[in-house]
Amino acid sequence: MSTRNVVIAGEAGVGKSSLINLILGEARVLASNDAVGVTLETTRHPTTIFQHSYYLWDTPGLNEGTQGSLASKRVEEILRHLLTQLEKAHGVHLLVICFRGTKVTRTMQQTYMSITGICSKVSQNIPVAAVITELEKFGDSPEAMEVWWENNRNGLSTYNMVFAGHACITTLTDECHPPTTGRYRKCQVAVHQLIQRCSRSPKSTSSRNLNVVLFGETGVGKSSLINLMAGKEVARVSPDANACTLDSDEYAFDMGPARVQMWDTVGLGEPDTINEDRCFNAIEKAIQLIKSLNAAGGISLLLFCIRANRITITTQNNYRLFYEVLGRKEVPVALVVTHLEREQQMEDWWPRNEKMLEQYGIVTAGHACITGVVGHPKYQQSQEAIRALLLQYDEQGKFMMPSEAWIGRLLKGLVSFVGDKAFLRGRDMVRILTKRCHLRSDVAQRVAACLEQQVTHIAPHSGIEYQFYIK
């Protein structure tokens, strides 16, 4: 079960943001009654509909006129870029065009032609659905509001406006005039059913195992994140300050039809906390981790957990150790940003900080902005965000290497980060692998040989960027 992408498009001021709030069941998106649109860039909103994970993508409105914030050509460029990027990555599963419930006009046709023209150039297989809003005058339910569609069917046909499905609704709450109990929920269900009915199926709907390596510094909230993903307490929330680098706890839980196997792995600590004994312990834990990952069939996803408040040299080195060394840049790495409970909208953190992360060499294939505080009003929203992120990768192939080469590669990179590798050369390395790490002598010799043959030196960053804070 993969996460599905639903893109909402339409003219400025027709109620796209209000429609997204209706789908989400909460006022998460700024909405306005003005003719000029309030959405100036694409924004993403994770949600769950009938036990399927979705990303809803809000887009700027077309045809704002001379008083608008964005020219129509710029809006079309934004929409084209979004559809192209989504289709390349995980696919666009549904495009919803939002219209106001007036008489069908040539302007509506022009909006339809502009949006579907962009869509068809990206892919011929993206279904397009219509949602007609502001139909409260027709009745108190979508069934009653369906009169608009019947009255305008010929006009839609005349203008060659064809849709895979439609919903006739209002986004007014029950308290709005005229007050009507149950109206809001009925319209929400109608749109949910439209999305479920018209969305393109993922590439594969078969249940798959998802092998995830979770990593990050001490205190970023990895245990709380695991409990958030599992929907129950499976990991004890406690400090791991005394744990060894690359020590890991393994968890397994179901996420819809997907079976998630997760290795909660201790990342690198501050550079001055590593001594020779801890380095040896890290080597031992690295070997155990590689054996476990190979036995499970490899890695589907690297999940990097960071706090929202800062990036340090240790943050950067953890990213490089796991992405560049463990995954050899072949495993997608997704970022989870924690401790965002004070943000009015948690997702707002991402556009403010994405460029800065890239400047520090942290580039990811996906992200989720969350809080792991149980009982917080944004806890369910956080759960939907992290599940939507993970389920994008349930069709992902798994990366693995022959154990001896993989161990050699990881040890080479690990020692580059945590100590002077001179004391691990030759027979000393074989002795450590046999006596302390319990490898057979012949295996230890091959691992040591792989270590010596690794020509790529993974050097840690200099400390010049050490205490840079993201505001």
- What's the pLDDT score for residue 203? 64
pLDDT in tens, 46-81: 999 998 999 999 999 987 544 445 678 899 999 999
pLDDT at res. 465: 34
Can you say how many angstroms the Cα of residue 459 is from the centroid of all Cα atoms in its chain? 29
Whether residue 97 contacts residue 111, with contact meaning beta carbons closer than 8 Å, is answered with yes
> Which pLDDT score is estimated for 460?
46
The single-letter DSSP state of residue 462 is P
The per-residue pLDDT for 37 is 45
174-185: pLDDT as tens digits: 999 889 999 999
pLDDT for 70 equals: 63
Name the pairing type of β-strands 258-266 and 248-255.
antiparallel
Cα gap 297→463, rounded to integer Å: 37
Is 389 strand, coil or helix?
helix
Tokens, residue 398: 């798994």
Question: What is the enclosing helix (H) or strand (E) of 158?
Answer: helix 147-158
pTM of the model: 0.79
**Predicted pLDDT of residue 209:** 85
Question: Rounded to whole angstroms, how far apart are CA atoms 115 and 403?
Answer: 50
pLDDT at site 423: 47
pLDDT of residue 135: 96
* Nearest alpha carbon to residue 460 among 317, 283, 282: 317
Of 372, 367, 363, which Cα lies nearest the Cα of 338?
372
Residue 55 to residue 3: CA distance in whole angstroms: 7
pLDDT tens, residue order, the chain (471 aa): 579 999 999 998 899 999 999 999 998 887 654 434 444 578 999 999 998 999 999 999 987 544 445 678 899 999 999 999 999 888 999 999 999 999 999 999 999 999 999 999 999 999 999 999 999 999 999 999 999 999 999 999 999 999 999 999 999 999 998 899 999 999 999 999 999 999 998 765 455 789 999 999 888 999 999 999 999 999 887 655 556 677 889 999 998 778 999 999 988 775 545 555 666 677 778 888 988 999 999 999 999 999 998 788 888 989 999 999 899 899 999 999 999 999 999 999 999 999 999 988 999 999 999 999 999 999 999 999 999 999 888 766 788 888 777 877 887 777 677 555 544 554 466 776 777 666 677 767 776 676 565 434 444 444 333 222 233
Q: What are the Cα distances from residue 136, in Å, to 82, 148, 178? A: 32, 11, 8
d(CA 348, CA 250): 32
Cβ neighbors of 27 (< 8 A, separation 6 or more) are: 21
